[in-house]
Amino acid sequence: MVRVLGIETSCDETGIAIYDSELGLLADQLHSQIKLHNEYGGVVPELASRDHIRRISPLIKETLKEGHCKFSDLSAIAYTAGPGLAGALLVGASVAEALAFALSIPALPIHHLEGHLLSPCLSPVPPSFPFVALLVSGGHSQFMRVNRPGSYEILGESVDDAAGEAFDKTAKLLGLPYPGGPHIAKLAASGNPKRFHFPRPMIHSGDLMMSFSGLKTAVSLVVAQHHPVDYADIAASFEAAIVDTLCSKALQALDQTGLKQLVIAGGVGANLKLREKLSETIKAHGGEVFYPPLRLCTDNGAMIAFAGAQKLLMHQKPVTSSTFSVFPRWDLQAYSTTYQD
Ligand code: KG4
Ligand code: ZN
């Protein structure tokens, strides 16, 4: 049995959780900075770091209380070491490393995307390995083949904006607050998705590459020619273009790999239209779609605690233990050299 405290501070959410390999998730606390950054239209890195500093210790105490745990019950402290905002990552990394040192237990640096990729394993009905993961967040749109924890292959990705970024930028064009995804979805619910035909970029490219920056340009042209009364139709038509593109590529990803299970991870995975259409499309082709619970789609400490527990269960240790670094830009390939058996 292992019990891991997970710390996530890569962007604008302080997430702390405790995962127990036998009992599951014991506690999961989150403090979102959305309100703090709202008036700036995006995340202000320095404000994010300062808020993580303010929140992290009280939140760790709260998490231990929720999980009825003591520090001495923990087997390791896992933390997001990258990618993300350097200052924000450093808050989580230094607290995790200091705690682990004081408790004489391992500190486990975790790749943020690995957290997202494994988060569906925390669902009541988890997928089994191997599966295809569609990771759609504010910074990434990628198809990955997940063979087992720690073994990932990129099948295709966006050549420019991430899907979440497209939601955020389109929201800005429509005068909606950050982060744009949930606001676009809400507005789109009362709009006509067929009124405007936005491009389905690279849908016939024959591979799993995607592109979303042209979509934002197409939306900006339509916005310039219309009035706020048309914005719900624009939001619905935009959402439909993203959903269609992701569904078509997802189907292709399963065809290409011969796998049957598709797992959705990352913030855009919270989009209900995407969930509906993906389930429908994939089921119709004999596949199965897995979603993490909604609250685990966006950034959280639970996925980091879970990923850390997998490292311990596989007897993997970080290569360096006396120093630590954070990696604002970090690919999964480079991450794989961080651990040894
Ligand atoms: O994974 P995440 O919480 O953070 C990282 O980027 O790592 O993803 C945040 C992204 C934002 O771009 C946000 O607009 C998008 O997820 N998002 C949504 C929805 N909820 C969050 N996009 C579409 N529909 C939603 N319901
Ligand atoms: Zn994320």
Measured by CA distance, the residue closest to atom 22 of ligand 1 is: 181
Ligand 2 centre and the CA of 222: distance in Å? 30
Q: First vs last Cα of the chain: how many Å apart?
A: 18
**pLDDT at position 92 over 70:** yes
CA dist., res. 288 & res. 267, Å (int): 20
Asked whether 109 and 77 are in contact (CB, 8 A), the reply is no
The confidence band for 139, taking pLDDT boundaries of 50, 70 and 90, is: confident
The verdict on the CB of residue 292 being under 6 Å from ligand 1 is no
As a whole number, the mean pLDDT across the chain is: 95
The bound ligand whose nearest atom lies closest to the alpha carbon of 166 is 1
pLDDT tens digit sequence for 179-236? 899 999 999 999 999 999 999 989 999 999 999 999 999 999 999 999 999 999 999 9
pLDDT tens digit sequence for 276-323? 999 999 999 999 999 888 888 889 999 999 999 999 999 998 987 667
Q: Which atom of ligand 1 is nearest to the CA of 179?
A: 14
Q: What is the dihedral of CA 336, 9, 140, 251, to 10 degrees?
A: 80
Asked whether 336 and 111 are in contact (CB, 8 A), the reply is no
Q: Which atom of ligand 1 is nearest to the CA of 273?
A: 24
Ligand 1 centre and the CA of 179: distance in Å? 7
pLDDT tens digit sequence for 237-256? 999 999 999 999 999 999 99
Asked whether 236 and 193 are in contact (CB, 8 A), the reply is yes
Q: What is the pTM of this model?
A: 0.90
Asked whether 130 and 152 are in contact (CB, 8 A), the reply is no
The verdict on the CB of residue 82 being under 6 Å from ligand 1 is no
pLDDT tens digit sequence for 49-87? 999 999 999 999 999 999 999 999 999 999 999 999 999
Secondary element (H or E) of residue 152: strand 151-157
Measured by CA distance, the residue closest to atom 3 of ligand 1 is: 298
277 by DSSP, 3-state: which?
helix
Burial category of 182 from C-beta neighbours within 10 Å (exposed 0-12, middle 13-18, buried 19 and up): middle
Q: Return the pLDDT at 336.
A: 85
Place of tokens 């990923």: 307
The verdict on the CB of residue 298 being under 6 Å from ligand 1 is yes
Which residues have a Cβ under 8 Å from the Cβ of 321 and sit 6 or more positions away?
Answer: 106, 107
**pLDDT at position 262 over 70:** yes
Residue type at 321 in one-letter notation: S
How many residues does the structure list for the chain?
Answer: 341
The verdict on the CB of residue 81 being under 6 Å from ligand 1 is no
Choose which residue among 178, 298, 299 to substitute to test ligand 1 binding: the one with the highest number of ligand atoms within 8 A of its C-beta: 298
Q: Return the pLDDT at 178.
A: 86
C-alpha angle 188-191-194 in degrees, rounded to nearest 5: 105
